[in-house]
């Protein structure tokens, strides 16, 4: 039983990262109807900013998170306003390919700037942790989970309680009607993508504390963000939080299966994904659109 | 769509130039390998096809198969299949297992590869093809990732069935003109794929698929058995992709998860079909040839690849990828209907055309 509790705790901690990666991806998908294949690359940009600030100025990694968010916000705004807005009415595959192209550019520019060496962010407290029953939980992992939940809560607040957030939701619900009531489509689209990118930046900062970072380290996160968002359901921040935590739990439990459970982590995740899609396409608590 | 339907003399000229150019490339590609035969060499003919030529030409032919096969499910039926590489890998492993473990002769093993790929596609197609849009794309992508992982890791009594992480080695074919054989095999597969597409485009089946693409509910009301049609299109696409995989396995002699289930193939085949013109007969072929030549040129594999200015040689592959990404972005932004429209006589290559296609899709 102790083992079970241990797995639950580890799963929830792993889920924190997925929540952080998933909320921005889910926002962009839900509102813009774009599956952003460059999301993982943007996450890694955030990770490199944290790494750079940490190694050059010895800033505490958690203090760099707002910087990650700001820079990625600006980058995201520029990408959407300058590029993606131009094909937003084209068929689905074109936005897929466009964001894949952006992904290719971002990853390879990172390769030029930082080479493919492994970079890790190790503040003085990275090795220590607290005992929670049978498991030792590292402070960084715990803080990462907390930041991820705060990020999701902040995003939900912005979306549901501010004029900007309501405008974003209106655009997501009906583009033409939103334009009729005077919402600036170009700006709102760019803002949505910028917020999604800012979330990716924060997620990247957290990830730099947890794993070694390379320019290509973000690719699995794009796929996992898919799974997380679909698992929870599109169109709600809380659904993504649920999906992320659940995905962390599933991953940890799958890896604990004796024998070769760990090598099937992707297969189990995607098998589950296909099952959810077929049985309950709106996700666990999502809204069908 | 605001594309002019009036006959355009300039467009016609482009179309003619394009057809002549395409025919010339085809003749060259089919004849050049013959100069590597001993008889041709002893007759003093120049060697037009060396080892590198065969490598690149066979890869191009392989992508012609994959892009054209994707076109059947993606271009004609309108289902954004993002996991076709699964069928490539399944075909490769089917052929590989039969040749390496069951010691079948290649020509007997090769026809089995498309059959297995098609059966697999039909099985997963029944649930997956109920999904639409992004959901189908993501689910098919997931399947391709999962299949690769399962094939690499599946074991019985801690003995890997399919060669495990160290991959699967096939016995090298004892034949003097191996390069020639595999090139022509791949070209034959490409011709078969184009032939099948040609037939589909003219058949009742093909009209059904196009009806599904344009409006699935309406197609269903008109009496098209949409499920059966979609699954059949998916299986057909899978069979042809699996055939290319089977040929690749014996050609490359060594297969593993990395070289027969690469995720980027999923993107590349779609890009090729789209750039050339999805849903058309020769569009994916033209797209595959152009794009693969470009990829090879940028990465420095072609003999004519010069050094890029301001780029140190070790950074070259990375810069090539950046350029490829930029080209991808520019292509998608300006030419949503595919380069083939320029040559198909439907539109003129002009600033006005670029501007119009940009305005059509932006907010």
Domain boundaries, chain A: 12-118+132-216
In which residue ranges of chain B is pLDDT below 50? 1-7, 340, 342-343, 345
What pLDDT shows up at residue B50?
84
Residue A7 to residue A17: CA distance in whole angstroms: 16
Whole-number pLDDT of residue B1: 38
Nearest CA to A196 out of A26, A17, A81 is that of A26
- The SS3 assignment for B80 reads coil
Provide the chain B residues 320-339 that lie in CB contact (below 8 A) with chain A: 321-322, 324-329, 332-333, 336
Q: What is the pLDDT of residues A206-221, one digit of tens each?
A: 999 999 999 988 888 9
At B98 the pLDDT is: 95
Q: How far apart are CA B347 and CA B7, in angstroms?
A: 9
Contacts of B125 (CB under 8 A, 6+ apart): B230, B231, B234, B235
CB-CB: which of A87, A227, A266 is closest to B361?
A87
On average, the pLDDT of chain B sits at 85
Q: Give residue B305's pLDDT.
A: 63
Residue B346: its pLDDT value, please?
52
Residue B44 distance to chain A (closest CA, Å): 46
Helix spans in B101-132 (H): 106-109, 112-128
Q: What is the pLDDT of residue A93?
A: 77
Average pLDDT, chain A: 89
Chain A residues in contact with B339 by the CB 8 A cut-off are: none
Residue B155's beta-bridge partner residues?
Answer: B160
Contact B153 A263 (CB under 8 A): yes
Domain boundaries, chain B: 50-263
Residue B169 has φ and ψ, to the nearest 5°, of -100, 135
Smallest Cα–Cα separation from A79: which of A20, A28, A144?
Answer: A28
Euclidean distance between CA atoms B153 and A260, whole angstroms: 8
Q: Which residues of A touch B143 (CB under 8 A)?
A: 270, 274
Partner residue opposite B130 with nearest CB, options A97, A186, A278: A278
- A274 touching B (Cβ < 8 Å): yes
Going by C-alpha positions, the residue among A227, A265, A249, A217 that lies closest to residue B149 is A265
The three-state (H, E, C) secondary structure of B266-282, written as one string: HHHHHHHHHHHCCCCCC
**Nearest CB neighbour to B329, from listed A83, A263, A266:** A83
Tell me whether A223 touches chain B (CB under 8 Å).
yes
ipTM score assigned to the predicted complex: 0.82
Q: DSSP secondary-structure letter at B76?
A: I
What part of B 100-119 touches A (C-beta under 8 Å)?
Answer: none
**A78 alpha carbon, distance to own chain's centre:** 19
Contacts of A186 in chain B (CB under 8 A): 363
Helix axes B133-153, A265-279, angle to 10 degrees: 150
Query: Please, which residues have CB within 8 angstroms of residue A249's CB and are 6 or more apart in sequence?
Result: A7, A8, A11, A12, A14, A15
Tell me: the pLDDT tens digits for B23-48?
A: 888 888 888 888 888 888 888 788 88
- Chain B hits for A100, CB-CB cut-off 8 Å, are 267, 328
Among B330, B333, B329, B339, which residue's Cα sits nearest to residue B358?
Answer: B333
**pLDDT beneath 70: ranges in chain A:** 1-2, 258-262, 286-289
B255/B160 Cα distance (integer angstroms):
14
Contact A88 B362 (CB under 8 A): yes
The tens digit of pLDDT for each residue in A148-177 reads: 999 999 999 999 999 999 999 999 999 899
């Amino acid at each position: 039983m102790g083992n079970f509790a241990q797995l639950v705790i580890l799963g929830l901690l792993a889920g924190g990262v997925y929540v952080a990666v998933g909320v921005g991806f889910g926002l962009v998908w839900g509102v813009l109807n774009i599956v952003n294949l460059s999301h993982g690359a943007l996450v890694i940009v955030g990770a490199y900013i944290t790494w750079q600030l940490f190694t050059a100025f010895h800033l505490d990694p958690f203090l760099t998170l707002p910087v990650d968010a700001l820079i990625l916000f600006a980058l995201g705004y520029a990408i959407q306003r300058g590029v993606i807005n131009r094909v937003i009415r084209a068929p689905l595959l074109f936005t897929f390919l466009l964001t894949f192209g952006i992904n290719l550019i971002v990853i390879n520019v990172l390769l030029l700037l930082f080479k493919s060496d492994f970079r890790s962010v190790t503040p003085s407290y990275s090795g220590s942790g607290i005992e929670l029953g049978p498991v030792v939980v590292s402070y960084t992992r715990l803080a990462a989970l907390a930041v991820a939940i705060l990020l999701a809560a902040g995003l939900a607040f912005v979306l549901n309680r501010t004029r900007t957030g309501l405008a974003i939701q209106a655009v997501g619900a009906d583009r033409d009607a939103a334009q009729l009531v005077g919402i600036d489509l170009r700006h709102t689209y760019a803002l949505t993508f910028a917020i999604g990118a800012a979330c990716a930046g924060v997620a990247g900062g957290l990830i730099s504390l947890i794993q070694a970072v390379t320019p290509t380290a973000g690719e699995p996160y794009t796929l996992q963000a898919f799974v997380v968002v679909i698992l929870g359901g599109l169109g709600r921040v809380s659904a993504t939080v649920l999906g992320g935590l659940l995905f962390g739990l599933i991953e940890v439990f799958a890896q604990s299966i004796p024998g070769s459970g760990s090598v099937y982590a992707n297969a189990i995740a995607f098998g589950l994904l296909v099952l959810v899609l077929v049985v309950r396409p709106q996700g666990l608590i999502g809204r069908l659109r | 769509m605001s594309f002019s339907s009036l006959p355009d003399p300039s467009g016609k000229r482009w179309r003619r130039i394009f057809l002549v150019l395409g025919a010339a490339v085809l003749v060259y590609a089919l004849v050049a390998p013959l100069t590597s035969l001993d008889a041709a060499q002893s007759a003093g003919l120049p060697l037009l096809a060396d080892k590198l030529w065969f490598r690149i030409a066979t890869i191009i032919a392989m992508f012609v198969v994959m892009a054209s096969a994707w076109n059947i499910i993606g271009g004609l039926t309108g289902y954004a299949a993002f996991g076709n590489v699964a069928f490539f890998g399944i075909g490769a492993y089917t052929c590989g297992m039969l040749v390496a473990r069951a010691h079948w002769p290649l020509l007997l093993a090769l026809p089995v590869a498309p059959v297995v790929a098609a059966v697999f596609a039909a099985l997963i197609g029944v649930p997956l093809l109920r999904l639409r849009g992004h959901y189908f794309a993501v689910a098919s992508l997931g399947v391709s990732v999962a299949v690769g992982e399962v094939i690499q890791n599946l074991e019985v009594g801690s003995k890997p069935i399919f060669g495990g992480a160290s991959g699967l080695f096939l016995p090298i074919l004892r034949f003097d003109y191996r390069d020639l054989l595999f090139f022509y095999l791949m070209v034959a597969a490409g011709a078969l794929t184009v032939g099948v597409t040609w037939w589909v485009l003219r058949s009742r089946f093909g009209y059904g698929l196009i009806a599904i693409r344009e409006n699935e509910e309406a197609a269903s009301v008109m009496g098209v058995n949409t499920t059966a049609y979609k699954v059949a299109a998916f299986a057909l696409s899978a069979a042809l992709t699996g055939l290319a995989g089977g040929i690749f396995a014996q050609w490359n002699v060594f297969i593993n998860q990395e070289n027969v289930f690469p995720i980027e193939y999923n993107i590349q085949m779609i890009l090729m079909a789209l750039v050339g013109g999805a849903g058309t007969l020769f569009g994916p072929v033209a797209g595959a040839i152009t794009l693969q030549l470009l990829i090879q040129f940028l990465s420095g594999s072609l003999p004519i690849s010069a050094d890029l200015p301001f780029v140190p040689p070790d950074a070259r592959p990375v810069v090539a990828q950046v350029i490829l990404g930029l080209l991808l972005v520019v292509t998608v932004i300006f030419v949503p209907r595919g380069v083939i429209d320029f040559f198909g006589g439907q539109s003129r290559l002009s600033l006005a055309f670029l501007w119009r296609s940009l305005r059509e899709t932006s907010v």
